[in-house]
Structure 1
Amino acid sequence: MSIRVFIAEDQRMVRGALALLLDLEEDIEVVGQAGDGQEALNVIRQLQPDIALLDIEMPVLSGLEVAEKIATTVPTCRCVILTTFARPGYFERAVKAGVQGYLLKDEPSERLAEALRRIMDGRREVSPELVFGTVREANPLSQREQQILRLAANGSSSSDIAQQLHLSYGTVRNYMSEALNKLGARNRLEAIALAEEKGWISS
């Protein structure tokens, strides 16, 4: 019996290449594809595939958001996150979402296919390169600093943030200053870019 695989990837060429390569495997069948997270979630709920291959960064909903929703609505579907490089915050969140695989997008097709078979056998699969990347750096930001940077990333000013979190303007500035120091950033825009790049302020 074939392993029924669904692929969610916003880059059409990458999605097509993945589908073509996996379809060459005798025991794997690609049953559907999507280009954004919301479309993926809708179709996965209908098709109920064995495995959902989810690009970590997609429009509308990220692969992590889709995995979190699938965990509660389609528990029989195993989620595998595909990424191009290690981001510690993303890996931590993927583990919390209960994903069965966290793999490099450019894995050789035979390694990817073998990983999918092992996942179907109940194992978890993580690319070694991604593990080493996550060990290298832990998130230095406190929960409050992450929260404030997230709000700033969404366009909120320090005054807006103070109002939303029921803090004084000075307290927000202190948290922001501390976050900048920890990240070695010169300003809030640089801090946001650094924290987002490492997945440290993913919602």
Structure 2
Amino acid sequence: MVRILLAMPQGLLRGALRYVLSTHPDMDVIAERDAVDATIEAVRSDAPDVTVLDLELLNGPGRDPAGAARAAHSELPDSKILVLVDPRRPGVGAHIASGPPTIGFLAQTASPERVVDAVRRLAAGEPVVDADLLVAALMPSSPLTDRELHVLEVAALGTPVKEIARTLSLSPGTVRNHLSRIIAKTGARNRIEAIHLAKEKGWI
């Protein structure tokens, strides 16, 4: 029996994954958590065989996505970890390269059955690396910083500069400076074109 802890911020998706896993007689979801501190506490108290960890739980604004896998290993040293990664995010190659054997990687877009298979393999001590992530790792990386990507993601929702500033706890002048640098780095003519380019390349 593989004892599993689900650490994911999205309650609906977490519940769906729990349902899928629970249909397999060799798997038991023993706990669900939606915050890093609570996840660490659950790992220590419940000792799951595998922790399924959505990288977004570690990837809040200002966090270094390239170091998130290392952070997961250092913060959850007693559990094998299946990290669910958005293949569109920059630094995905660094996630894979930085992971020890006890950490497996799977795209967030993977089918439920692939998650089940990955959990089984990781529990058995086998390496887990998603082919989709390997392809994404070979794609050209974004020239934008994490902060610039966050600004562009919010701007892509049609949010005015003042609202972007309020959302990201920045000044409007800082947001305008970020947008100017984004336009220059992407070679776009304006913010709208920069957003389209970033979406086409999978940066946001």
TM-score, with length taken from structure 2: 0.64
In structure 2, what is the equivalent of residue 87 of structure 1?
88
Q: Percent identity?
A: 22
User: Closer, same or farther in 2 for the Cα pair 1:17/1:150, shift >3 Å?
Assistant: closer
Counterpart residue type for residue 8 of structure 1: A
Q: CA deviation at 1:61?
A: 5.4
Q: CA RMSD in A?
A: 4.1
Q: Distance in 2 between matches of 1:116 and 1:58?
A: 19
Counterpart residue type for residue 13 of structure 2: V
Q: CA deviation at 1:19?
A: 0.9
In structure 2, what is the equivalent of residue 3 of structure 1?
2
In structure 2, what is the equivalent of residue 71 of structure 1?
73
Q: Residue 198 of structure 1: SS of its match in structure 2?
A: coil
Q: Distance in 2 between matches of 1:97 and 1:37?
A: 20
Q: Distance in 1 between matches of 2:113 and 2:150?
A: 42
Q: CA deviation at 1:37?
A: 3.3
1:98 equivalent in alignment to 2:65: no
Q: Distance in 1 between matches of 2:60 and 2:150?
A: 18
Tell me, yes or no, if the aligned pair for 2:49 and 2:79 is still in contact at 8 Å: yes
Out of 120, 127, 131, the residue aligned to residue 130 of structure 2 is 127
Tell me, yes or no, if the aligned pair for 2:93 and 2:136 is still in contact at 8 Å: no
Tell me, yes or no, if the aligned pair for 2:82 and 2:118 is still in contact at 8 Å: no
User: Closer, same or farther in 2 for the Cα pair 1:24/1:176, shift >3 Å?
Assistant: closer
In structure 2, what is the equivalent of residue 170 of structure 1?
none
Q: Residue 111 of structure 1: SS of its match in structure 2?
A: helix
TM-score, with length taken from structure 1: 0.64
In structure 1, what is the equivalent of residue 21 of structure 2?
22
Q: Distance in 1 between matches of 2:56 and 2:20?
A: 21
Tell me, yes or no, if the aligned pair for 1:50 and 1:77 is still in contact at 8 Å: yes
Unaligned 5+ runs, structure 1: 161-172
Tell me, yes or no, if the aligned pair for 1:79 and 1:101 is still in contact at 8 Å: yes
Answer with 94-103 or 29-38: which moved more: 94-103
Q: Residue 56 of structure 2: SS of its match in structure 1?
A: coil
Q: CA deviation at 1:34?
A: 1.4
Q: CA deviation at 1:137?
A: 1.9
1:48 equivalent in alignment to 2:40: no
Tell me, yes or no, if the aligned pair for 2:5 and 2:48 is still in contact at 8 Å: yes
- Give the paired residue count: 180
Counterpart residue type for residue 20 of structure 1: Y
Counterpart residue type for residue 93 of structure 2: E
Q: Distance in 2 between matches of 1:8 and 1:132?
A: 25
In structure 2, what is the equivalent of residue 167 of structure 1?
none
Q: CA deviation at 1:5?
A: 0.9
